[in-house]
Amino acid sequence: MTNDYTPLPEHKFSFGLWTVGNRGRDPFGDAVRPPVKPTELVRWLGEAGAWGVNLHDNDLVPIDASTADRDRIVAEFKGACADHGVVTSMVSANLFFDPVFRDGAFTSNDPAVRGYALQKTLRAMDLGGELGAKTYVVWGGREGTETDACRRPDAAVKRLRDAIDYVCDYSIANGYGYRIALEAKPNEPRGDIYFPTTGAYLGFITTLAHSEMVGVNPEVAHEHMAGLNMTHAVAQAWEAGKLFHIDLNDQVIGRHDQDFRFAAANPKAAFFLVKFLEDVGYDNPRHFDAHAYRTEDDEGVRDFARGCMRTYLILKEKAARWNADAEIQGILKEISADRPGTPTVEKHSTAHADALLAFDFDRKAIGQRRLPYEKLDQLTIEILLGAR
């Protein structure tokens, strides 16, 4: 059950250009690392064993590039991907950096801002189509408020719906075959962002014209910022057939937006997440949306990227060890053992309800079943700490 934790294409690890290309700016300090060309980042990723690269339009093509420059940049990038065996797995439009989006993009009150956001999105979809990307992420980073005096929040919901419906129709009309993945975040850069959690987006998706094309892209840090359990959010998305993509990183609850290396802050939570993804056979990209500490140089950025993948593979091995542990499996069997004779609760029928209503439950005896979760958790910790 041991391996050397070497990342392979079959693991489907991917990184955004904005992650390994992050220059270490924060609200209080300027960039600490020089820019690295996208083609060079692709080389790093290929050498590190990543399968895919993700990008926003402007991570690759500057916002004011001429058509000729754009075409040259895209051709060079495609060449680098081919040379280093890296696929472009996901694309998105940057609808948060430019000042035009200071009060949102699709949810702005200004029809020209909404129009420009949609135009930029269609062009990003064309770019992704050219690069062969199959996932399109919508992260509404600026779609929110500091004061709710500016618009009724249900107007924002309706505008976002119109935008996503448009995006789906455009993908169909152009044969792109995109799967659209909506990414929630509770706050930062806005005081409050609409659709703060993955659960909120799962509800919204059912109201879309092409709901079958739309899923979610949960991010560890974003669920943690809301004080929530990422694995529970992921499980709900998975069970609904909506886990199209995932953003792996880490975040201490209650802190600023940290985007730490995967599992850097909460290895136990990361373990249960990896175990879930592996147990259910998740096969979409495993994207690391994180960045290196601001203290790092280029070599430190590569340490960071290697660390994300290595930790995932270590946790995957721990999950297999956990699943194969006889004592753990014995406890799991015990706590969910059958109660022969108990009426079925799976499905209502008049006969089932009659049987249930007539049944005499021995409440006190039932309540005495042993639930040795201290033991179960300690065994988990011992596996994680390498003592088992």
Using CB under 6 A as the criterion, which residues of the chain lie in contact with ligand GLT when the complex forms? 18, 56, 92, 137, 139, 183, 219, 247, 289
Question: Which of the residues 4, 11, 26, 56 is marked catalytic?
Answer: 56
Which among ligand GLT, Mn ion, none contacts residue 284 (Cβ within 5 to 8 A by kind)?
none
Closest CA to 141 of 97, 178, 199: 97
- Please report how close the Cβ of residue 234 comes to Mn ion at its closest, in angstroms: 14
Binding mask of the shown chain, residues 284 to 303, with x at each position contacting Mn ion by CB under 5 A: -----x--------------
- Please report how close the Cβ of residue 217 comes to Mn ion at its closest, in angstroms: 7
- Please report how close the Cβ of residue 137 comes to ligand GLT at its closest, in angstroms: 5
Which among Mn ion, ligand GLT, none contacts residue 59 (Cβ within 5 to 8 A by kind)?
none
- Our finding on whether 219 is near Mn ion (CB under 5 A) is yes
Q: 56 is written with which tokens?
A: 């926003």
Cα separation of 38 and 176, whole Å? 24
Q: Closer to ligand GLT at the Cβ: 216 or 314?
A: 216
Cα separation of 344 and 28, whole Å? 60
Q: Closer to ligand GLT at the Cβ: 139 or 272?
A: 139
Q: 367 is written with which tokens?
A: 């309540």
- Our finding on whether 57 is near Mn ion (CB under 5 A) is no
Radius of gyration of the chain (CA): 23
Q: DSSP of 128-179, one letter per residue?
A: HHHHT--EEEEE-TT-EES-GGGS-HHHHHHHHHHHHHHHHHHHHHTT---E
The residue within the footprint of Mn ion, chosen from 57, 223, 247, 250 (CB under 5 A), is: 247
Q: Where are the beta strands (DSSP E) in 192-232?
A: 192-193, 214-216
- Counting residues that bind Mn ion (by CB under 5 A) gives 5
- Please report how close the Cβ of residue 371 comes to ligand GLT at its closest, in angstroms: 37
- Please report how close the Cβ of residue 47 comes to ligand GLT at its closest, in angstroms: 23
Cα separation of 24 and 13, whole Å? 22
Question: Which of the residues 59, 103, 247, 259 is marked catalytic?
Answer: 59
Which among ligand GLT, Mn ion, none contacts residue 45 (Cβ within 5 to 8 A by kind)?
none
Q: 263 is written with which tokens?
A: 């599992």
Cα separation of 45 and 15, whole Å? 8
Give catalytic residue positions: 56, 59
